[in-house]
C-alpha cells in the first residue's frame, strides 16, 4: 500500500535523493566502493562537501562574510555551542515552546539568559510580537519554526542586537534574508537529510570575542579553518543533503519551494477550517507551513482514536500530534508532494461522511 509520510523528523526526503543515496551505498561515484566505507579525505568526498556548501550558499543567497559548516551533534549541541561562542554576559531568548526552552536552559551555563517574550500563557499557540529587545544583549535567540506547536515566523524580524535562529524545521522552505542573522543553525533531519548532520551559517566577524577559552571542537573557528573536516564529518547524511539540495535547485530553488509549501499548507488548513470534526491549534497568522497541528473539535474528542485508525488504514504515517498539543500533526516538509496532502484532505472528508452517516 502507498504510504504518506507526515513524520515530523526524521522525515520525508526527495525520492531522487533516496535512490541516489542507495546507489552510492553500493558503489560511490564509480569508485567500486561503498559511500559508507570511503575516506572523508578522498577527492570524491571532498567534491561532495564543496558542492554541498556551494549549493547551500547559492540556494539561500548567503552573503559574503558568512560561513557554512556541517557538524555533528544535532541542533541540541548548538544549544550550548552558540552561547559558548557568543555569550559573554547576557543573551535573550524568545520562548515559543520546547526547543526554545531547551536552548535557553543551556545558555544559562554561560551567562545570563533572559526570556524576552513567551507564548507559554496560551500553550505556545502563537509567536510573540511587539516586545522590547534590551540593547545590552549579546544576541537574541529565536526558533523560526516550532515543530511541536506548529507556529512559524513568516518574516525575518528586525532586531537591534545580533539575531540567532534555530531553523531546524524550516530551513530552505522559504527564502530567508540571511543578512539579518548573526547565526542560523539546525539539525538536517527535518527538511534536508537523514539524522546526523547539523548545519551552521555563521557571520564570521561575530567570532573571537569571548573572554573564556573555548575547547577546540566547540570553537566554530576550528571548523571554519578546516572546512568542516577538523574531524570526520557525517559523510552519509552530507551526501544525501547534497542530493536534496540538487533536487531543490532542479525544481527552481527556494522561492519555488516556498510557493509549493504555501499551496500545500493552504490546502490542509482550508480543510481543517471547513471540516466540523477538526480545529487547528495555532492562531491563524502564525500557522506553520511545515507542521500543521489540529485536534478533534470540542465535544468530538472521542473521535481521536477512530480517525487515527481510519487514516492509518489509508496509509497515513506520522500524524500523531506531540503529547504537549495532542490531536494530530501533519508535517509537510519540502519533499512531501502536494498529492499526499490532498490524500490526507480526502481522508478527512471521507471520515466526516462516515461519522455523519
Ligand X SMILES: *Cc1c(COP(=O)(O)O)cnc(C)c1O
Residue 9 CB, nearest approach to ligand X (Å): 5
Residue 220 CB, nearest approach to ligand X (Å): 17
Partners of 330 in beta bridges? 292
Q: Which residues of 256-280 are buried (b: 16+ CB within 10 A; e: fewer)?
A: ebbebbeebbebbbebbeebebbeb
Residue 5 CB, nearest approach to ligand X (Å): 16
Closest to ligand X by CB, 167 vs 348, is 167
Q: Is 105 a catalytic residue?
A: no
Closest to ligand X by CB, 190 vs 203, is 190
Q: Is 247 a catalytic residue?
A: no
Residue 102 CB, nearest approach to ligand X (Å): 7
Of 147, 132, 167, 140, whose CA–CA distance to 288 is shortest? 147
Q: Rule CB under 6 A: which residues touch ligand X?
A: 9, 74-76, 99, 143, 147, 166, 168-169, 187, 190
Closest to ligand X by CB, 142 vs 248, is 142
Q: Where are the beta strands (DSSP E) in 255-308?
A: 278-280, 291-296
Contact predicate 25/34, CB 8 Å: yes
Of 245, 328, 236, 248, whose CA–CA distance to 280 is shortest? 328
Q: Is 99 a catalytic residue?
A: yes
Task: Select which of 138, 170, 190, 203 is catalytic.
Answer: 190
Task: Select which of 138, 166, 170, 340 is catalytic.
Answer: 166
Q: What span, in angstroms and rounded, lies between the C-alpha atoms of 129 and 240?
A: 37
Q: What span, in angstroms and rounded, lies between the C-alpha atoms of 223 and 225?
A: 5
Closest to ligand X by CB, 20 vs 147, is 147
Q: Where are the beta strands (DSSP E) in 212-260?
A: none
Contact predicate 93/112, CB 8 Å: no
Residue 188 CB, nearest approach to ligand X (Å): 8
Closest to ligand X by CB, 124 vs 168, is 168
Residues involved in catalysis: 99, 166, 190
Amino acid at each position: 500500500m502507498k504510504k504518506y509520510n507526515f513524520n515530523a523528523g526524521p522525515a520525508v526526503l526527495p525520492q531522487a535523493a533516496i535512490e541516489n543515496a542507495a546507489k552510492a551505498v553500493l558503489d560511490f561515484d564509480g569508485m567500486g566502493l561503498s559511500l559508507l566505507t570511503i575516506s572523508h579525505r578522498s577527492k570524491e568526498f571532498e567534491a561532495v562537501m564543496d558542492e554541498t556548501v556551494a549549493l547551500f550558499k547559492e540556494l539561500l543567497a548567503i552573503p559574503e562574510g558568512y560561513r557554512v559548516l556541517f557538524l555533528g551533534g544535532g541542533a541540541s549541541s548548538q544549544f550550548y555551542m552558540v552561547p559558548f561562542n557568543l555569550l559573554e554576559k547576557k543573551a535573550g531568548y524568545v520562548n515559543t515552546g520546547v526547543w526554545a526552552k531547551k536552548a535557553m536552559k543551556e545558555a544559562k551555563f554561560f551567562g545570563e539568559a533572559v526570556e524576552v517574550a513567551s507564548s507559554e500563557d496560551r500553550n505556545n499557540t502563537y509567536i510573540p510580537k511587539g516586545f522590547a529587545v534590551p540593547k545590552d544583549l549579546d544576541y537574541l535567540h529565536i526558533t523560526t519554526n516550532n515543530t511541536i506547536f506548529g507556529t512559524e515566523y513568516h518574516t525575518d524580524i528586525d532586531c537591534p542586537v545580533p539575531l540567532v535562529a534555530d531553523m531546524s524545521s524550516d530551513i530552505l522552505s522559504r527564502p530567508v534574508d540571511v543578512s539579518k542573522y548573526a547565526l542560523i543553525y539546525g539539525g538536517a533531519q527535518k527538511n534536508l537529510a537523514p539524522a546526523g548532520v547539523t548545519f551552521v551559517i555563521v557571520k564570521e566577524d561575530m567570532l573571537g570575542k569571548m573572554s573564556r577559552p573555548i575547547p577546540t571542537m566547540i570553537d566554530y573557528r576550528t571548523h571554519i579553518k578546516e572546512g568542516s573536516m577538523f574531524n570526520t564529518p557525517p559523510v552519509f547524511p552530507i551526501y544525501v543533503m547534497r542530493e536534496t539540495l540538487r533536487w531543490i535547485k532542479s525544481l527552481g530553488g527556494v522561492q519555488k519551494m516556498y510557493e509549493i509549501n504555501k499551496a500545500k499548507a493552504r490546502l490542509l488548513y482550508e480543510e481543517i477550517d471547513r471540516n466540523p470534526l477538526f480545529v487547528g491549534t495555532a492562531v491563524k497568522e502564525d500557522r506553520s507551513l511545515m507542521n500543521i497541528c489540529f485536534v478533534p473539535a470540542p465535544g468530538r474528542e472521542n473521535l481521536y482514536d477512530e480517525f487515527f485508525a481510519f487514516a492509518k488504514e489509508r496509509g497515513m504515517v506520522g500524524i500523531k500530534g506531540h503529547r504537549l498539543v495532542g490531536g494530530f500533526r501533519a508535517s509537510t516538509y519540502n519533499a512531501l508532494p502536494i498529492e499526499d496532502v490532498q490524500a490526507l484532505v480526502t481522508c478527512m472528508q471521507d471520515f466526516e461522511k462516515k461519522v455523519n452517516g
